[in-house]
Copies of this chain bind each other. A is one copy, B any other.
């Protein structure tokens, strides 16, 4: 393999991660298995990834000196969440390859920009409207049949920063949200199921996608992902093809999660996440190449791996005190348990996940 800076990073090269939560932790584990080193950049002093990174740049995302030192130390930089400031990514990108590039961050940080981009890339989305005033909200509601979800344009995830409009109380809450920051109104898509595609694109434009997972959310947070999704194979192919269009439109390098609503034979893109994705955690148990390894391969210039799976499966998140159930899964013969090393259990906090394979195939 070749030297840092050239097309393929050699073992021993340092991958920089912006953000040190469980997604970075899992990417780091995959990086180590391919012989790479990892450096972490996170303003938090004790993030989950800190447990396994000897080199932690603990500084603010606008600390130019720390960013410069971090860039010097790394052969490539990636990120684990989409709310890294775009300015941070742009600054780093002048010093070291940043993959995926800042453009993907920019598109996915603002729901209005994201949905406009998605439509321009040929994907169908729920109807949406920019709403910054009560008047704009009322006008938009006329278009969506009087119902919909008001979402902040920025910094929302896991159902935070959202108000579902269905009565007078919720209207008041929605107006409060709009008064605090720019929002969009999204019309409802009356969907049969939710699926997601974990897609990858290499630095040379090669594309691979795992089969769609069928996802169930509870309280806005992913609860389970099941493979295969109960959809027609042609629809699964169509979902991969839409994902491909999105990654190509962004000249993307790395793994992306693309969430869809399935309504009859129609697919609506709900959201894109320019990173490894919770609904792709099953790949570590059911595939030879997990989404985490796929991402590391892409950003390090290695060939993408086969996204085929050896087993069907269901991934279940362990949220808050769900983690107390880990022992039960550890006893099971069918489950892979993954805990994130978080010391404090809090309601709604993602503590780990479990993937159960089915059916078992070989002797015990």
Contact = CB atoms under 8 A, between A and B. Distances in A.
A45 interface: no
Range, interface on chain A: 35 or more
A33 B339 contact: yes
Interface stretch (A101-109, A216-224, A355-363): A355-363
A73 to B, nearest CB: 14
Contacts of A177: none
Interface string A72-112: 00000000000000000000000000000000000000000
7 contacts: A35-B340, A54-B54, A303-B327, A305-B333, A306-B334, A308-B360, A310-B360
Contacts of A289: 336
Interface string A301-312: 011011111111
Interface of A: 1, 11-12, 25, 28-29, 32-38, 50-54, 56, 211, 285, 288-289, 297, 302-303, 305-312, 324, 326-327, 330-343, 352, 357, 360-364
A51 B37 contact: yes
Given A1-B326, A54-B54, A211-B363, A341 B310 contact: no
Contacts of A335: 288
A341 B32 contact: yes
Given A33-B339, A310-B310, 16 more contacts: A11-B343, A12-B343, A29-B32, A32-B52, A34-B337, A36-B341, A37-B51, A54-B56, A285-B288, A288-B357, A297-B330, A303-B327, A306-B332, A308-B364, A310-B362, A312-B362
Nearest first, the 8 closest Cβ-Cβ pairs linking A and B are A35-B339, A306-B333, A308-B364, A35-B341, A12-B343, A288-B336, A54-B54, A37-B51
Contacts of A310: 310-311, 357, 360-362
Contacts of A330: 297, 302-303, 305
A308 B363 contact: yes
Contact of A361 (B51, B302, B352, B361): B361
Contacts of A309: 362-363
Nearest to A288: B336
Contacts of A337: 33-34
Contacts of A352: 35
Contacts of A35: 339-342, 352
B11 A306 contact: no
Contacts of A342: 11-12, 35
Contacts of A361: 310-311, 361
A32 B51 contact: yes
A229 B320 CA distance: 44
A47 to B, nearest CB: 12
Nearest to A343: B12
Contacts of A333: 288, 305-306, 308
Nearest to A305: B330
Interface centre among A29, A324, A357 (most CB of B within 10 A): A29
A72 B198 CA distance: 44
A341 B54 contact: no
